[in-house]
Amino acid sequence: MNLQPLSGVRTCVQALTDPDPAAPGLADEDAVSAAYSAHGPELYRFVLRGLGDSGAAQDVVQETFLRAWRAADRFDPQLASLRVWLFAIARNAMLDHARAAKVRPWQTNLVDPPTVEQSGPAVDDVSDSLVRSWVVEEAMRRLSPEHRAALVETHLRERPYAEVAADLGIPLGTLRSRVFYGLKSPSSGDGRDGSDTVTGPDASEHRQLRELLGAHALGALPEGASAALKAHLDGCATCRAELAEIAPLAQELRFIHPDALALQPSPPADLGERIRAGIAAERALVEARARRERSQHRARRVMGAAAAVAVLGLALGLGTALGRSTAPAVVARPGPTASAPALPIEQVAVRAVDAAVSTQQAQIIAHTWGVEARFTGTGFRVGQVYRAAFRSADGRLLPAGEFLGTGAKELKCNMQSALLRPDTTGFVVTDEAGAQVLMADL
């Protein structure tokens, strides 16, 4: 297994950005299964830590892979690894789940309280500090047991180095070496401590001083050793660069609770199969809809051709009567009556979450059978499928239809749902990845 260096977390999510072994896409169920095998357990722990509920975490992980599959054509391995992309989608899905739970708090009474294994901060918003703590925990778990124990006992539990070295039955210098390479090296678990990276007559002394960098960065180096190291740093650019690389970890590690590292909750064994089955079912629906649209298109062409033949025949049959001066009768159209009142139309303010999208006008119309949203806008990505939905009073999102983006060309949409207007609290439009593009509070 390729161990990720802890020093990578200094940019918050760098520990998640190692290149994926073949950078697989998500074009089909096999690719999704491969991506789940590689990243599913980490995603599950990430979401479980945020929501504190195993059932909710499973739902969010399924939604994450479904959104990723829908937007597979937008994944660019040149911009980010598949792992980073999935974690970004999972973060958004987790926030959406948390917001939905707020409007139906009665559901929290239907589940057991979270266990110690599941406990974590409730997600009102996933702040950078929480994301960093999850990232650092996962990076710590990928270290070898020896290097992880060195960091946990000396820094997280704040035990004296001499006491920890005695308990582990190793020299003090070896413990300091493990602390340094635990912070520094992605291959620290392979039995080598990096002594082969320094050569020459002063190699042994240089290596000993270099291995003090970990304890120095964590503020645990005795004064005498610290003075010797500082003197060495004045003349060694390589060690100064390594210290700058690992120093930010002292701040990042403060988010870790040592007991949390012993817990590695795993997703249910059948979660991967459920994700695969869900995507297969949606793929079948998409293909069936495409076949239906092609069939309807062919039917319209046939009907159009038949209508043209009929019009031509009518024109030929009536050609001899074209010179008559008979005027057509004027048919009076009935005006509005009490039995057919005008439909109530509300002008609403729509917020564009995507800066590229703009809306000129938006209306909500209450029908006896449900509610309708009419809006015009530009900036929807050409060819991308957008989904509209109305939010009910209990927080559910009821589908209102789909449309294709037309870019800079003005788009007019009429989106409808069976939800009645008094039960409607909002309107949203999302892209293929599930990210909100437009929203309105009603």
pLDDT in tens, 47-93: 888 888 899 999 999 999 999 999 988 888 888 888 889 988 998 99
350 and 260 in one domain?
no
Tell me the pLDDT tens digit for each residue of 4-56: 444 444 433 344 444 444 445 687 889 999 999 999 998 998 888 888 889 99
**Structural domain includes residue 327:** no
219 and 182 in one domain?
yes
274 and 225 in one domain?
no
Which residue reads 């990720």 in tokens? 4
Q: Which two tokens stand for residue 255?
A: 């988010």
Q: What is the pLDDT of residue 130?
A: 62
Q: Which two tokens stand for residue 183?
A: 């912070």
105 and 251 in one domain?
no
- CATH number, domain of 13, equals 1.10.1740.10
Tell me the residue range of the domain where 88 lies: 1-139+269-299
281 and 132 in one domain?
yes
* Largest pairwise CA distance in the chain: 117
**Structural domain includes residue 308:** no
Name the DSSP class of 323: T
- CATH number, domain of 436, equals 2.60.40.770
**Structural domain includes residue 333:** no
State the chain's mean pLDDT as an integer: 78
92 and 147 in one domain?
no
Of 220, 241, 265, which marks where a domain is finished? 265
Amino acid (one-letter) located at 436: Q
227 and 95 in one domain?
no
Q: What is the pLDDT of residue 127?
A: 53
95 and 54 in one domain?
yes
Q: Number of H helices and number of E strands within the chain?
A: 13, 9
Give the chain's end-to-end CA distance (angstroms, integer): 51
Q: What is the pLDDT of residue 9?
A: 42
**Structural domain includes residue 368:** yes
Q: What is the pLDDT of residue 269?
A: 92
135 and 273 in one domain?
yes
227 and 110 in one domain?
no
Number of domains in the chain: 3
Of 265, 288, 322, which marks where a domain is finished? 265
**Structural domain includes residue 325:** no
Neighbours of 41 (CB within 10 A): 18
Q: What is the pLDDT of residue 285?
A: 87
pTM above 0.95, yes or no: no
Tell me the pLDDT tens digit for each residue of 287-322: 888 888 888 878 787 777 767 766 666 655 554 444
CB within 8 Å of 408: residues ≥ 6 apart: 378, 379
Of 239, 265, 291, which marks where a domain is finished? 265
**Structural domain includes residue 123:** yes
89 and 3 in one domain?
yes
Q: What is the pLDDT of residue 327?
A: 44
The low-confidence residues of the chain, meaning pLDDT below 50, are: 1-23, 106-107, 109-124, 186-197, 199-201, 319-327, 329-331, 338
**Structural domain includes residue 214:** yes
**Structural domain includes residue 64:** yes
- One DSSP character per residue, 191-204 reads S--SGGG--STTHH
241 and 118 in one domain?
no
